[in-house]
Amino acid sequence: MNPLAQHPSRPDAGAAGVVSAAPAGPCSVVIFGAAGDLTKRLLEPALFNLANTGLVPEHFGLLGADIADLDARGWTASLRAMLESFVGDPEAEDQIGRVNDAAWERLTAHADYVQGDFTRDEFYETLKSRLEAIETSQGTGGNRLFYLAVADRFFAPIVEHLGKAGLLAEGESGEGPWRRIVIEKPFGHDLASAKALNRRLLDVVAERQIYRIDHFLGKETVQNIMALRFGNGLFDPLWNRDRIDHVQITVAETVGVEGRAKFYEQAGALRDMVPNHVFQLVAMVAMEPPVGVRAEAIRDKKLELFSAIRTVRPEDAVRGQYDAGEVSGRRARAYREEPGVAADSNTETYVALRLAIDNWRWAGVPFYLRTGKHLSERMTEIAIRFRKQPLAPFKGASIDDLPPNWLVLRIQPDEGIAIEFEVKRPGQTMQLAPAQMQFRYRDRFDPEPNVGYETLLYDCMTGDQTLFQRADMVEETWRVVGEVLDDWSGRPAAGFPNYRSFSAGPEEAERLLSDDDPTRRWRPVALDPAEDGS
Ligand code: BG6
């Protein structure tokens, strides 16, 4: 969803003038990796939520493709079983009220499944004939969305095979039926591999056909940053180097590697989270206002921002790896003791970076980023610290005694926005006390179930690329972290493991801030900063 366009949004009960979304136009969705975890946990529930809110087109085809030995009935039954298991589970990744049979039928009544090996030509012959049969019976007009929910080594080969089989051809300037591919992360593992992957994809399809997903952009609170910045006159005059001291972005997780050691050992926290998710948060906060609402206008501004970020030097990065720890009586093992992890693993489960942005708005304003697993709280926030006023005209108070003001954008959980400021403590003397103004999503809205993928899938079906990464954006973000990746791969980490599970991360990360200014400290990794869990 383009957050700046007058765009259908989920209805806000009782609000006047709220535009409801229209169903997407006729199309088929082909899911590669149909029997995999991502499909079951995220894609199918999101498609279901879309069907449940009437946004799946009336003329719709669904085709699963996977190596797993299943047929259409077995496949859809396994999806439904997973969906049922989410119902009423507040801990589930997907919030499903109940599985509405009509919506389920609408989604899966005509679904088909093709079993086979994605690397073989014959597979695509079968896929083609089965897809064409769905297209005819469902009247989808030949519009196709190929969703690649597979390991990254399959991205280019699948697209090349689809191209060879003639399944991706569009009219020269996009007229006629559309054909789109959706690529999950990781999009490359460094600049060279991202460039190589872009080249191979762009040999087969045009950029307008590629939807590189970053699921953080599907989150309401991430899109809301645009609303906050560009929909209000209040913040804009403050949003620059004159008023902002620095910005902290924290993506803290309590989970560990959760059975993904094979992937994670190769990736590590930096590759897994930073050039993609964390940099999208940076872009939302720091980009210039776009000159219009077109997807390209917004993506151009993000690219401009990424290009202005200085390549991070190894001394501006701190890596960490979790040791054992305990929380609420539960003992967690160290990363090196996780199944599938090498006993002397050098993989980082935590990273903190100091970014410098070389443009007129941000010159001299550091952006400190950190993300890690097994931290004290699951919490994603963007905290903007304002500069202090020049003097404190209160008896006995020096300006150094006054805490700074913060604007905190809570991305998840407890979604909302808070402003931290000073007020007069009631009484006969002038004493200041910290206070907070809060906006909480849950107080204002009654949101529909949404895992973020709904918005992104809907956008793929309706052809809105605003929330997707463009080739040049992906390459710039890999450029920014390239020197650190090279440095780390050539130099074993000293002192790993270096933070206790369920703590705030390695102590050393403090130096990124305090070296710049001794009054700067990371905010607590705690939902309520008054109860610092670290
Ligand atoms: C994924 C990473 O892309 O994002 C995971 O591979 C991480 O390691 C996840 O846990 C975080 O996403 P969310 O939506 O749970 O914050």
* Structure-derived torsion over alpha carbons of residues 159, 162, 167, 169, reported in degrees to the nearest 10: 50
Q: Which pLDDT score is estimated for 384?
A: 98
Round to whole Å and give the CA distance between 256 and 502: 10
Q: Which pLDDT score is estimated for 9?
A: 43
Q: Mean pLDDT throughout 369-398?
A: 91
| Ligand 1 atom index nearest CA of 185 | 3
Cβ–ligand 1 distance for 338 under 6 Å, the answer no
CA of 225 to the centre of ligand 1 (A): 20
Q: Which pLDDT score is estimated for 96?
A: 65
Round to whole Å and give the CA distance between 75 and 339: 29
Tokens of 196: 């190589």
CA of 338 to the centre of ligand 1 (A): 18
Q: Tell me the CB-side half-sphere exposure of residue 480, using CA atoms within 13 A.
A: 29
Cβ–ligand 1 distance for 323 under 6 Å, the answer no
Cβ–ligand 1 distance for 44 under 6 Å, the answer no
CA of 122 to the centre of ligand 1 (A): 35
Q: In what order do the strands lie in the sheet with 27-32?
A: 112-115, 60-66, 27-32, 144-148, 179-183, 210-212
Closest protein CA for atom 5 of ligand 1? 272
CB 340 within 8 A of CB 262: yes
Put simply, whether the predicted model's pTM sits higher than 0.85 gets the answer: yes
Residue type, 350: Y
Q: Mean pLDDT throughout 391-415?
A: 87
Cβ–ligand 1 distance for 94 under 6 Å, the answer no
| Ligand 1 atom index nearest CA of 216 | 14
The reply to whether 246 belongs to the active site is no
CA of 390 to the centre of ligand 1 (A): 41
Cβ–ligand 1 distance for 253 under 6 Å, the answer yes
Closest protein CA for atom 2 of ligand 1? 272
Mutate to test the pocket of ligand 1, among 185, 265, 273 (most ligand atoms within 8 A of CB): 273
Cβ–ligand 1 distance for 459 under 6 Å, the answer no
Q: Which pLDDT score is estimated for 431?
A: 87
| Ligand 1 atom index nearest CA of 412 | 16
| Ligand 1 atom index nearest CA of 255 | 10
Ranges of beta strands (E only) in 329-428 are 330-332, 350-355, 367-372, 379-386, 406-412, 416-425
Round to whole Å and give the CA distance between 251 and 220: 16
Q: Which pLDDT score is estimated for 118?
A: 93
| Ligand 1 atom index nearest CA of 263 | 6
Q: Mean pLDDT throughout 35-61?
A: 92
Residue type, 217: L
CA of 264 to the centre of ligand 1 (A): 12
Mutate to test the pocket of ligand 1, among 216, 222, 378, 382 (most ligand atoms within 8 A of CB): 216
Q: Per the residue annotation, which of 161, 246, 277, 374 is the catalytic one?
A: 277
Q: Is the pLDDT of residue 438 over 90?
A: yes
Q: Which pLDDT score is estimated for 378?
A: 94
Q: Mean pLDDT throughout 497-520?
A: 96
Q: Which pLDDT score is estimated for 446?
A: 79
Closest protein CA for atom 13 of ligand 1? 216
State whether residue 157 is helix, strand or coil.
helix
User: In which residue ranges of the chain is CATH 3.30.360.10 found?
Assistant: 217-388+470-514
Higher pLDDT, 430 or 463: 463
User: What rounded mean pLDDT belongs to the chain?
Assistant: 91
Tokens of 476: 């710039």
Which homologous superfamily does the CATH classification assign to the domain defined by 217-388+470-514? Answer: Dihydrodipicolinate Reductase; domain 2 (3.30.360.10)
Residue type, 131: L
Q: Kindly indicate the confidence band of residue 532, based on its pLDDT and cuts at 50, 70 and 90.
A: very low
- Element housing 183 (H / E): strand 179-183
Q: Which pLDDT score is estimated for 8?
A: 43
Q: Is the pLDDT of residue 87 over 70?
A: yes
Q: Which pLDDT score is estimated for 259?
A: 85
- Comparing C-alpha atoms, which of 322, 317, 315 is closest to residue 348? 322
Q: What architecture does CATH give domain 27-213?
A: 3-Layer(aba) Sandwich (3.40)
| 244-275 exposure pattern, b = at least 16 Cβ within 10 A, e = fewer | bbbbbbbbbbbebbeeebeebbebbbbbbbbb
CA diameter of the chain: 85
Closest protein CA for atom 4 of ligand 1? 273
| Ligand 1 atom index nearest CA of 380 | 16
Q: Kindly indicate the confidence band of residue 533, based on its pLDDT and cuts at 50, 70 and 90.
A: very low
Closest protein CA for atom 12 of ligand 1? 216
Q: Kindly indicate the confidence band of residue 171, based on its pLDDT and cuts at 50, 70 and 90.
A: confident
Q: Is the pLDDT of residue 208 over 80?
A: yes
CA of 222 to the centre of ligand 1 (A): 14
Stretch among 172-186, 189-203, 415-429 having the lowest mean pLDDT: 172-186
Q: Mean pLDDT throughout 344-358?
A: 97
CA of 38 to the centre of ligand 1 (A): 12
CA of 255 to the centre of ligand 1 (A): 10
Q: Kindly indicate the confidence band of residue 471, based on its pLDDT and cuts at 50, 70 and 90.
A: very high
Rg (CA), the chain: 24
CB 21 within 8 A of CB 475: no
- Comparing C-alpha atoms, which of 507, 494, 521, 152 is closest to residue 348? 494
Q: Is the pLDDT of residue 95 over 80?
A: no
DSSP codes joined into one string, 434-450: EEEEEEEHHHH--PPP-
| Ligand 1 atom index nearest CA of 378 | 16
Cβ–ligand 1 distance for 475 under 6 Å, the answer no
Q: Which pLDDT score is estimated for 361?
A: 98
CA of 533 to the centre of ligand 1 (A): 22
Q: Kindly indicate the confidence band of residue 97, based on its pLDDT and cuts at 50, 70 and 90.
A: low
CA of 277 to the centre of ligand 1 (A): 8
Q: What is the sign, positive or negative, of the torsion defined by CA atoms of 532, 405, 250, 364?
A: negative
Tokens of 324: 């054992």
User: In which residue ranges of the chain is CATH 3.40.50.720 found?
Assistant: 27-213
Q: Which pLDDT score is estimated for 391?
A: 85
Cβ–ligand 1 distance for 381 under 6 Å, the answer no
| Ligand 1 atom index nearest CA of 219 | 14
Higher pLDDT, 161 or 82: 161
Q: Which pLDDT score is estimated for 5?
A: 64
Cβ–ligand 1 distance for 272 under 6 Å, the answer yes
